Structure 1
Amino acid sequence: MSGIVIVGAGQAAASMAARLRKKGYDGAITVVGAEPVAPYQRPPLSKGYLLGEMPLERLMLRANDWWANNDISLRLDCSVTEIDPKAQVVQISDGESLDYSELALCTGATPRRLPASLGGNLGNVFTVRSLADVDAMRAQFRPGQRLVVIGGGYIGLEAAAVARKLGLEVALVEAAPRILGRVACAQTADAIRALHQENGVEIIEGLGLLSLRGDTVVTAVELEDGRVIEADFAIVGIGVTPNEEIAREAGIHCENGIAVDAQGRCSEDHIWAAGDCAAFPGGAGPLRLESVGNAIDMGELVAENMLGAAQDYSPKPWFWSDQFDSKLQIAGLNIGYDSVVARAGEGASFWYFRDGALIAVDALNDARAYMIGKRLIEGGKTVTPEQVADPETDLKALLK
């Protein structure tokens, strides 16, 4: 009997399946996941789970019996190997085929790895994406071990912070002129850099990697200026690539992800996409968001649209990152910003403007600034750079 098949078993898939049942869909739902475990939270992997503060059961998005109680079939430790859009059938790696009335692609993304020519195939070189990734590296997190992190994005910085808290020696290498170059303003980067340096992380910016050294496992990292940093292991955090291969092979249009319309439909009938893999219409072209908030919101919206809601996706982006004992909270999208205003409060916040309009806020240890900024952005409220810069301005009053 055909029903809804969801490919992928992450946050978007779990949110979609739950929404389908909540909205009254009583047909078959099958979730196909490549990992051997039920859907779980990914953000805590590089934070609480790696620190040993969050046990495995707390990672799970749903209790073990929830899936059976809601008559949702989990097909774990297997993957979809082929999609036939005309016959509306998918082939599974265990040899079975599944008919579908609607198909949702929630295939996520894969971390980029260093090429073998740079030593990326050596042992003790890790990425941070899955439970298996973190379980594989956990034994290395012992006091005195030497870690080199390649990449100064949020994942690399979070791993560096955890390592220092556990007593490791840590160096972080970013080839770009500064950390967080693609995702945050210089002021936010300055604050995060200072936090890491205060906690003993060596930050090396504007200097590329020449190679990882070692016979079978990494023993050192050589930089472009000839500097050599000894290492017991390395973590590579240089971004991710959307998992679009299975869609592309089926003739589905892809453009830096699986291309969808404003309601989440792919270029082939009865096929949808949501989460990290999905590229939806944005102001300046296809937009792909890698965040929990996007996975939840888009997964739920696509579920409703499968059932006929016909709603366009209007993302309300929010993100967060834990660095040592500090929390960075982000609201909005800073794409195309032309000015940044810093404001002191409970902590520090950095307000992004484009053509005089507020588009995003970074709040470091300042939950009040985050919440006010988020509500201002989502409500389309008018606030000027001058108002934000003035410490006498009561920003909360602007919400009225």
Structure 2
Amino acid sequence: MGGIVVVGGGQAGASLVAKLRALGFDGAVTLVCDEPVPPYQRPPLSKKYLLGEMEVERLYLRPESYYAEEGITLLTGDPATGIDRDAKTVTLASGAVLSYDQLALTTGSRPRALPATIGGVLPGVHVVRTLADIDTMAPAVREGAQALIVGGGYIGLEAAAVARQRGMDVTLVEMAPRILQRVAAEATSDYFRALHTAQGVRIIEGMGLERLTGEDRVTGAILSDGTKLPADLVIVGIGILPDTRLAETAGLTLENGIAVDTEGRTSDPAIWAAGDCASFPWRGVQMRLESVQNAIDQAECVAENMLGAGKGYDPHPWFWSDQYDVKLQIAGLGAGHDHVAVRPGDRDGAVSHWYYAGGKLLAVDAMNDPRAYMVGKRLIEAGKSPDPAKIGDPATDLKALLNP
């Protein structure tokens, strides 16, 4: 077997090349990274790293020496710019051309940006995605400054928490009627609204952003009702898009990302995809998961299949978010739920929300309640759906629900 090229130096790309070596593949492996650093963890960027509690080297998924030791060619700071599917080559920004027998795209995602016409490119307006994003933002995250967070999803809420912890005056604006509306039940939105309000964050829901103000840098914002807000720093957290630009120019099939089959193969049999950028068939729909867990699991599955395993990818989704002293753990996907059972936890501030559809357990949001998360995750994976009334009864022994 000849060489494998992996384009995309995030969690999926790093996991894929490591799995290839762990499986005993001894052919040429090249990992192409856009950024000038080795693959690193993204979740701590907007939390411990921005707070100054983590050194940059601790972000790295593996020491830089690992790649040389494993015979993996690591190319950093040289993005891929084109794919010639007939010649089986990848061209890089430097002009270098890489030949491949098999190619994997782990290009991840890119943040949605505010339009330039409403001030989205003003200095002082930031997104949270890369190490460079955080390094550029960090000097402005200072005590007493005014921070405006645009977007009330998990990225926006995590940014608001860090800004408050750094002593900033924080206002968060969400266009939807409630924060977390796209991803969580009303009960979970209520929980996090109360948490942030208690910490001094001003949350404005059901309100659009008309435009940002300022000339040389951002100085404020005007909301859709005419309200004017001061801002020394604006953090935009309005979602992400799968980075399909390379795949699109190569003529690969796209469907909410780079469309792959159950094994992770694209419309070109020599090209695979995994992670945030890939959409795959699952339970009758073509879906895409944006999580560290999916990036690792899908990439490792693709690595096996590149070596002939013929293994279908069957994810068991889970996610997490850290805000102040609250750890949210999510198991499953709650889309389509028609009922939420609320269960108080064993300690102050602990609670879990259990999502049901037609009596079937779909997902669990557990706030500072690792036991509820663990039991819920195992129940979902086993296809078990306890009576919601039992879940909501604090006297119910959750672990007993796992028994046949």
TM-score by length of 1: 0.98
Q: Is 1:252 matched with 2:255?
A: no
Q: Distance in 2 between matches of 1:50 and 1:184?
A: 26
CA distance in 1, matches of 2:221, 2:341: 38
Aligned to 1:169: 169
Q: Does 1:49 align with 2:46?
A: no
For residues 218 and 92 of structure 2, what CA distance do their matches in structure 1 show? 36
Q: 1:96-245, aligned counterparts within 5 Å?
A: 96-245=96-245
**Aligned amino acid, residue 397 of structure 1:** A
Q: Does 2:327 align with 1:327?
A: yes
Match of 2:379, as an amino acid?
Answer: L
Matched, 1:367 2:370: yes
Q: Which residue of 1 aligns with 2:318?
A: 318
Contact kept, 8 Å, 1:358 with 1:384, in 2: the verdict is: no
Match of 1:392 in 2: 395
**Pairing of 1:340-351 with structure 2 (within 5 A):** 340-346=340-346, 347-351=350-354
- Once residues 46 and 94 of structure 2 are traced to their aligned partners in structure 1, the CA distance between those partners, rounded to angstroms, is 31
Give the whole-Å Cα distance in 2 for the aligned partners of 1:344 and 1:104: 45
Q: Where does structure 1 differ by over 6 angstroms across 4 or more consecutive aligned residues?
A: none
Cα distance in structure 1, aligned partners of 2:189 and 2:284: 25
The 2-side partners of 1:214 and 1:6 are apart by 42
* Matched-pair contact (CA < 8 Å) for 2:359–2:385: no
Q: Distance in 2 between matches of 1:200 and 1:390?
A: 33
> Residues of 2 paired with 1:325 and 1:135: CA distance?
24
CA distance in 1: counterparts of 2:189 and 2:50, whole angstroms: 24
- Aligned to 1:218, the other structure's residue is in SS state coil
Aligned to 1:83: 83
State the number of aligned residues: 400
Matching of residue 354 in structure 1 with residue 354 in structure 2: no
- SS of the aligned residue for 1:50 comes to coil
Q: Give yes or no for contact 1:176–1:207 (8 Å, CA) kept in 2.
A: yes
Distance 2:284 2:204 in 1: 33
* Matching residue of 1:287: 287
Q: 1:38 maps to what in 2?
A: 38
Write the deviation string for residues 108-139 of structure 1: whole angstroms up to 9, x where unpaired: 11101100111101110000000000000000
Secondary structure (helix, strand or coil) at the match of 2:13 reads helix
Whether the aligned pair in 1 keeps the contact of 2:122 and 2:217 (CA below 8 Å) is: yes
| Correspondence 1:382 to 2:380 | no
Q: Give distance in 2, aligned partners of 1:83 and 1:285.
A: 28
- Structure 1, unmatched stretches of 5+, are none
1:285 deviates by 2.2
Structure 2 unaligned segments of length 5 or more: list them.
none
CA distance in 2, matches of 1:126, 1:2: 42
1:375-395 per-residue CA deviation (whole Å, 9 max, x = no partner) reads 111122231212212222212
Q: Secondary structure at the match of 1:352?
A: strand
Describe the SS at the equivalent of 1:120: coil
Identity rate, percent:
57
Distance 2:71 2:44 in 1: 28
Partners of 2:174 and 2:206 within 8 A in 1: yes
CA distance in 1, matches of 2:340, 2:284: 21
Q: Secondary structure at the match of 2:101?
A: strand
Contact 1:151 1:172 in 2 (8 A): yes
| Pairwise CA distance, 1:2 | 4.5
Instruction: Say if 1:9 and 1:31, in contact at 8 Å, map to a contact too.
Output: yes
- Find the aligned partners of 2:152 and 2:158 in 1 and give their Cα distance: 10
